[in-house]
Amino acid sequence: MVSPTSTRRRRTKVRRTRGRRTGIVLGWVLLGCVAVVAVAGVWTAVDAFRVRDQLVEAAGVVPQLEDQVLAGDDEAVATSVATLRDAASSAVATTGRPHWKLTSWLPGVGPNVRAVQTLAGTVSDLAEGPLPSLPAVVAAASPAALAPQDGRVDVQSVAEAAPVVIAADDGVNAAIASLAAIDRSALLPQVGGAVDQLAGELADLRLSTATASRAVQLIPPMMGIDGPRDYLVLVQNNAEPRALGGIVGSVLVLRAEEGSIELVEQVAGNSISFDEPVGDLTDSETAIFGSQLGRFMLNVTSTPDFPRAAQLASDMWIAERGETPAGVLSLDPVALAGLLGATGPVTTEAGLTLTADGAAQYLLNQIYLDEPDPAQQDVFFADAAASIFSALSGGSGDAQAAVSSLVQSSDQGRLMLWSSDPVEQSLLDGTQLAGEVPEVGSTPVVGVYLNDGSGAKIGYYLEVATSLAVSECRPDGSQRLRLKVDLTSAVPDLATLPAYLTGGGAFVPEGTIQTNLSVFGPSGGRILGVSGPEGEMPVLTQRQGDSPVSLITVTLNPSESMQLELELVTGKQVDGVPTLRTTPGPRATVQTIEPGCAATS
């Protein structure tokens, strides 16, 4: 008889034997897994060199492709697209193999493998989607397509091209978002560099596709494809400065219908005024700009925020005429003169020839020397504006030059556009054309705006120079800024100037330039102090939204100068390169900006 003790010993020995066998089997399995992973890793590494070459080749094609499209070289475009597709297809096929999927989950290696897979997929999506459509995108928004022919823009063709253009922009935007989702912190330098390179090239490309997408969505409806639309055009007079440029000397009514533009009416800006503000002004608006902002069409441009100025102008027009404008456009004589560089000289009904070189000076200054009667001045302004718009809408001159001139005017804040349609306005938001006061962001924006206090056209002789520098990069990511504003009166001999130009002493001594300076600090920041020739100055400080605003009145006699210096600080984590916005005057403002903390870190 076998004892219980012997039985237990045999069972324990069997379990130990089985355990050793199981351990050996698991060990071999684990060793096999390690071997498989190792082989997969080596295989993936070998593949990686091949994929790298394919992606480098594809990435190099993107900027070449854009240049070829802009040059109109269709044969080169087709070749580049084919090259891109082949490289992308090979890269996707390689990175989709099982060993790539296996190594994508390995610690350390995995993020790099997944990044390369994302790169390959992104390039493939671009090659099959938006990049082959680039010629259509560029053609749809080209000056040739948008230039009037026989007085009319072919808005129907623009509308038909819209789906392709919008899809191309969506595709580029999706590619940018895909790359942005990659965690750069876990990547090897070679992989991270490739991601950054392609992301940069796509960001440059989207400048073109986004502009074209906005254009094909805005131009057909705004040019009256669905019926006539009437727009107010505020012609600003920079000789009497306001924050956005100058007083609204004239209001034109432009009618757009099926791609044609017609000037249907012109009224003097000073003919529209009210005893009480139209619309509700905020307390800060009243404190900074006065109730005149909402009472006089002349003064709607006192605010540096064009959407607000346009809304007030629209409200005044509705109150005055009972008609709701489709939108508001603003420009000044410098912008009009720029268009003459494209259309060529124009001759007014009165027989005066206006040229690109002389139109701004004549409209802003010489007219007051030649014609003392304000009523006749208004007649001349209407005549000049009608002549220039007629040349532009008739398709005279160089379409490319006209577009370049409009872009330059927009960059300088001389051309702005607002739509009363919320959907259209949302497409304009964030563009140079919108003329908005920026909200909080990583880029600090400082504004230096002028509102004349002389009540005359003497502001033509005011010369302005500004400089903005970073004086300290602070631990919380904010920046301390130093702003300098130099103002100089270049008023000539008063005996040569008429009273209408000098003001005749009605508000200030004759020949004196009085300017109400509004300095807008960075949104979310503060203005720490202001100093002038006599040292620190007491100034009135307000807030407009999230922006601090210092109000400074400057009075200059002929040939006098004054320098103001302001210390400002941005909000936290606002470390981008500073931007300086200024009131566009009769001449370009001299402007100097030093890099921000992000650029110097």
C-alpha 418/C-alpha 426 separation (Å) is 10
Same topology, domains 229-426 and 438-600? Answer is no
Q: What is the pLDDT of residue 31?
A: 35
Instruction: Please state, in angstroms and rounded to a whole number, the distance separating the CA atoms of residues 242 and 516.
Output: 9
- CA gap 274, 18 in Å, rounded: 101
Residue 57 pLDDT: 67
Residue type, 65: L
Highest mean predicted confidence (pLDDT) among 27-31, 71-75, 96-100, 221-225 = 221-225
Which residue reads 């009608």 in tokens? 386
Q: What's this model's pTM, rounded to 2 decimal places?
A: 0.85
Strand locations in 476-577 (E): 479-489, 513-520, 526-532, 535-536, 540-544, 547-556, 561-569
Distance in angstroms (rounded) separating the CA atoms of residues 329 and 13? 95
CB 272 within 8 A of CB 252: no
Its CATH class, for the domain covering 229-426, is alpha beta
Q: What is the CA 456 to chain-centroid distance, rounded?
A: 33
d(CA 125, CA 306): 39
Distance CA 48, CA 5 (A): 63
Sign of the alpha-carbon torsion through 208, 210, 211, 213: positive
What is the side-by-side strand order in the sheet with 540-544?
540-544, 547-556, 513-520, 445-452, 579-582
What is the pLDDT, as a whole number, of residue 350? 81
Token look-up 């301390």 returns: 480
Q: Angle at Cα 378 formed by Cα 375 and Cα 380, nearest 5°?
A: 115
Alpha-carbon span 200 to 545, nearest angstrom: 33
Coil/strand/helix, residue 261: strand
- CB under 8 Å to 311, separation ≥6 — which residues? 279, 418
- The answer on pLDDT for 41 being more than 50 is no
Pairing relationship of beta strands 462-473 and 479-489 according to DSSP bridges: antiparallel
Average pLDDT (461-466) is 96
CB 300 within 8 A of CB 309: yes
Q: Check residue 459 and give its pLDDT.
A: 96
Q: Judge whether residue 514 has pLDDT over 50.
A: yes
Residue 497 predicted with pLDDT over 60? yes
127: nearest Cα among 179, 163, 180, 90: 90
pLDDT tens across 45-62, in order? 445 545 656 666 666 677
- Least confident interval from 21-30, 433-442, 466-475: 21-30
Count other Cβ atoms within 10 Å, centred on residue 376. Answer: 13
Alpha-carbon span 136 to 142, nearest angstrom:
10
CB 416 within 8 A of CB 434: yes
pLDDT digits (tens, 9 = 90+) for 109-142: 677 777 777 877 888 888 888 888 888 887 887 7
76: closest CA among 60, 91, 61, 56?
Answer: 61
Strand, helix or coil for residue 485: strand
Is residue 583 a contact partner of residue 568, using CB atoms and an 8 Å limit?
no
State the average pLDDT for the chain.
84
Q: For residue 329, which of 345, 314, 351 has the smallest C-alpha distance?
A: 314
What residues does 544 pair with on adjacent strands? 547
In the three-class reduction of DSSP (H, G, I as helix; E, B as strand; rest coil), residue 567 is classed as: strand
Backbone angles phi and psi of 498, in degrees to 5: -75, 160
Q: In the sheet that 260-268 helps form, which strands lie side by side, from edge to edge?
A: 260-268, 247-257, 229-237, 327-331, 416-419
The domains of the chain are located at 24-222, 229-426, 438-600
The topology under which CATH files domain 438-600 is Immunoglobulin-like (2.60.40)
Confidence of residue 421 (pLDDT cuts 50, 70, 90): very high
Q: Are 195 and 180 in contact (CB under 8 A)?
A: no
Which pLDDT band, with edges at 50, 70 and 90, does 381 fall under?
confident
Determine the pLDDT at residue 354: 92
Rounded CA-CA distance 80/517 in Å is: 54
